[in-house]
Structure 1
Amino acid sequence: MTFDSTMFFILLFVAVFLISQALIVPAAGQKAKHKELTKRLNETKGQLDTESINLLNEHYKKSLSPLDKKLVIIPYFANLKKMVELAGIKTSLGDIIIRTLLACSVVVFVVLLLGQPWYFGPILSALVVIAVYMYVNWKISDRLMKFEEQLPEALDIIRRMLQTGQPLVQAFKEVGEELPAPAGDEFKNTFNLLNFGYDMKVAILNMADRVPTVSMLAFSSAVLLQKDTGGNLTENLQKVSEVLRARFKLTRKIKTLSAESRMSAWILVLMPFGLFGMLTILNPGYTEPLYTDPRGMKVIGFGMVSLMIGALWIRKIINIEV
């Protein structure tokens, strides 16, 4: 097999991998994009005193490993650390980076050991980094989706606790004990912050940062609004719970209705690869000019770019925000 054909199959693999990721449309679990709720919470954050923010940052840094404390000083690694926490991965950021670098080193060593061109090492190492990044993003979507499913039940538990005369802090503890992760863990963390003496506003905003979904923003806004202006929190939570259940039901319905479109997208995007594979097996000489003739490589590059644009365009059409 020549170098051109080897490079062709590498590009083919990368294209299939990226296109498959582009067509993954989560039913829920997307990061919040609601402008009004986000704006309201940002205004509330601006009202927090500097002392509370500093105490919260110190409390957060105590839970980090020594290596992570040094990494989060850099904004880029601080964002990566937030992604890891949002994905619910217990491994520290430093360990993930070290393991990824070790995997890249092994890949480079194997490439050199097999006598392949040296630049295959950086290419495959980049694929390893992309695979790790996409895995973290997949874990984030999966975790946020589970949280969205559990939040209405959590609100019902809080509402029942408030109706029996229990304080909101005790209701958070009850949710943390009754529900599994991720909702149980998040409410338990919020209860611990309140137990340490943090203000309710600080704890709620910190929770909204850890789980940035539209549902969480709605719950945070309801609690903060009641704290600032008063009102019946039990009634507000009941309304929020009903809205969240209706929203999640609508999201599931949209996913069901768009299932045919998503299947059509998979078929249309993957058909060229399947057709190429069949032709290669049945008549290898017919497809050989694609990776032996320079013009064939240009056609392949144009086709892969077109497929990526088409996949992203299909995702834009069928990914309806609720």
Structure 2
Amino acid sequence: MLLTGMALMLSAILIFGVAVILPKTPEVPMDRRRPYQVGPGSQLTRFAGSAADVLHRVLARRNIRMFNREELENAGLRMSQADFVILMIAGALVGALIGLVVGGPWVAVLFFLPAPLVGRLVIRFLAGKRRAKFDDQLGDTLQLLAGGLRAGHSILRAIDAAANESTSPTAEEMRRIITETSLGRDLEASLNDTATRMRSEDFVWIAQAIQINREVGGNLAEVLDQVNETIRERSEIKGHIKSLAAEGKFSGYILMALPFGIVTMLMVVNPGYMEPMFTHPLGWGMIAASAILMTIGGLWMRKIIDLKF
């Protein structure tokens, strides 16, 4: 028993000595203490990068602007025009392959040709979603600005604090304002550009309130609180209007998608039934007339359900 206890004690002393004498593992891993290095990536990544570089040079040489950088930034896409075009082409090829397997060559062409239009619609959808999220965050942004001003900070320091405390896209837009003003641009111009870029009438009021306060003075925190109250009331009314118009919008989407769905279903179930539509001149005329009438109907329905207030 005594020998066992001595052996345990010696083992504990040995383990303690080894733990003290041997060098400790650094708290920060070695790869994090080294400069950041981008790995070579996979073969597919290198091929996509090379293709994007080639396409970027071609587009720059011919001065082709399919998608502006500002449009991609407004949509929240951190990529160049060439990267988005390659992504769009890849999606079109995948859609064409699916159409070829499901319904044949005509369905493949039908899925491939609208790729530029679909890419444009995706950018507009993402930009609209980002702008709507920015508008929804304006109330919290104004509270942060008013709180910073009451704490004794300047308007630029309050905007900087709002950028740090907010989430995307408000944080990105506030940081952009701070960056532009630090480079020497006037604050009013930066605020107005943000309001134009985000298409926010409410932010125009904020920019005007800040500019008027800089010219005539006063308690900007109270002014921002009043603007915040007005914006919240307008948001509540806007929510009621959206809920009332939701049924009309959903009906419009169904009516616009119904012809394409029926044509696709017929081409899958019975390809020969729809073949004269794409091979006979009368069918081509019917397709053109259908496109014109659907465009007019879509614009008409959009005018009815798009309420302005």
User: What is the TM-score normalised by the length of structure 1?
Assistant: 0.63
The residue aligned with 2:75 is 87
The residue type paired with residue 86 of structure 1 is: N
CA distance, structure 2, for counterparts of residue 318 and residue 180 of structure 1 = 31
* Distance verdict in 2 for CA 1:321–1:291, change over 3 Å: same
Please say if residues 100 and 129 of structure 1, whose CA atoms lie closer than 8 Å, have aligned partners that are also in contact.
no
Aligned residue runs from structure 1 range 149-160, under 5 A: 149-160=136-147
The residue type paired with residue 250 of structure 2 is: M
The residue aligned with 1:50 is none
CA distance, structure 1, for counterparts of residue 64 and residue 273 of structure 2 = 48
Decide which of 223, 227, 233 is 2:214's aligned counterpart: 227
Please say if residues 100 and 128 of structure 1, whose CA atoms lie closer than 8 Å, have aligned partners that are also in contact.
no
Please say if residues 92 and 115 of structure 2, whose CA atoms lie closer than 8 Å, have aligned partners that are also in contact.
no
The residue aligned with 1:299 is 286
CA distance, structure 2, for counterparts of residue 164 and residue 122 of structure 1 = 62
Q: Which runs of 5+ in 2 are unaligned?
A: 1-52, 98-106
Identity of aligned residues (%): 28
Question: Are 1:168 and 2:160 counterparts?
Answer: no
CA distance, structure 1, for counterparts of residue 125 and residue 198 of structure 2 = 15
CA distance, structure 2, for counterparts of residue 290 and residue 121 of structure 1 = 16
Please say if residues 159 and 174 of structure 2, whose CA atoms lie closer than 8 Å, have aligned partners that are also in contact.
yes
The residue type paired with residue 188 of structure 1 is: R
Q: Residue 258 of structure 1 aligns to a residue in which SS?
A: helix
The offset of 1:141, in angstroms, is: 0.4
The residue aligned with 1:265 is 252
CA distance, structure 2, for counterparts of residue 192 and residue 282 of structure 1 = 58
The offset of 1:175, in angstroms, is: 0.7
Question: Are 1:320 and 2:307 counterparts?
Answer: yes
CA distance, structure 2, for counterparts of residue 125 and residue 212 of structure 1 = 32
Q: Residue 79 of structure 2 aligns to a residue in which SS?
A: coil
The offset of 1:130, in angstroms, is: 2.1
The residue aligned with 1:37 is none
Q: Residue 137 of structure 2 aligns to a residue in which SS?
A: helix
CA distance, structure 2, for counterparts of residue 281 and residue 101 of structure 1 = 25
The offset of 1:173, in angstroms, is: 1.4
Please say if residues 149 and 221 of structure 2, whose CA atoms lie closer than 8 Å, have aligned partners that are also in contact.
yes
Q: Which has the higher contact order (CA 8 A, sep 6+)?
A: 1
* Distance verdict in 2 for CA 1:285–1:209, change over 3 Å: closer
| Bigger radius of gyration among the two | 2
The residue type paired with residue 152 of structure 2 is: G
* Distance verdict in 2 for CA 1:77–1:235, change over 3 Å: farther
The offset of 1:179, in angstroms, is: 0.9
* Distance verdict in 2 for CA 1:277–1:173, change over 3 Å: closer
Decide which of 201, 207, 226 is 2:188's aligned counterpart: 201
The offset of 1:233, in angstroms, is: 1.5
Aligned length: 253
CA distance, structure 2, for counterparts of residue 245 and residue 319 of structure 1 = 21
CA RMSD of aligned residues (A): 4.4
Give CA-to-partner distance per residue, 1:39-71, whole Å, 9 cap, x none: xxxxxxxxxxxxxxxxxxxxxxxxxx9x99xx8
User: What is the TM-score normalised by the length of structure 2?
Assistant: 0.65
Aligned residue runs from structure 1 range 127-166, under 5 A: 127-166=114-153
CA distance, structure 1, for counterparts of residue 60 and residue 135 of structure 2 = 28
Question: Are 1:96 and 2:55 counterparts?
Answer: no
CA distance, structure 2, for counterparts of residue 319 and residue 122 of structure 1 = 33
* Distance verdict in 2 for CA 1:158–1:126, change over 3 Å: same
The residue type paired with residue 83 of structure 1 is: E
Report the more deviating stretch, 255-264 or 228-237.
Answer: 228-237
The residue type paired with residue 75 of structure 2 is: A
Please say if residues 248 and 305 of structure 2, whose CA atoms lie closer than 8 Å, have aligned partners that are also in contact.
yes
* Distance verdict in 2 for CA 1:241–1:78, change over 3 Å: farther
The offset of 1:77, in angstroms, is: 4.1
Question: Are 1:246 and 2:229 counterparts?
Answer: no
Report the more deviating stretch, 298-307 or 196-205.
Answer: 196-205
* Distance verdict in 2 for CA 1:288–1:103, change over 3 Å: closer
Give CA-to-partner distance per residue, 1:55-92, whole Å, 9 cap, x none: xxxxxxxxxx9x99xx8999984981211121121113
The residue type paired with residue 137 of structure 2 is: Q
CA distance, structure 1, for counterparts of residue 171 and residue 220 of structure 2 = 21
Q: Which runs of 5+ in 1 are unaligned?
A: 1-64, 111-119
CA distance, structure 2, for counterparts of residue 82 and residue 245 of structure 1 = 29
Q: Residue 68 of structure 2 aligns to a residue in which SS?
A: helix
CA distance, structure 2, for counterparts of residue 284 and residue 94 of structure 1 = 36
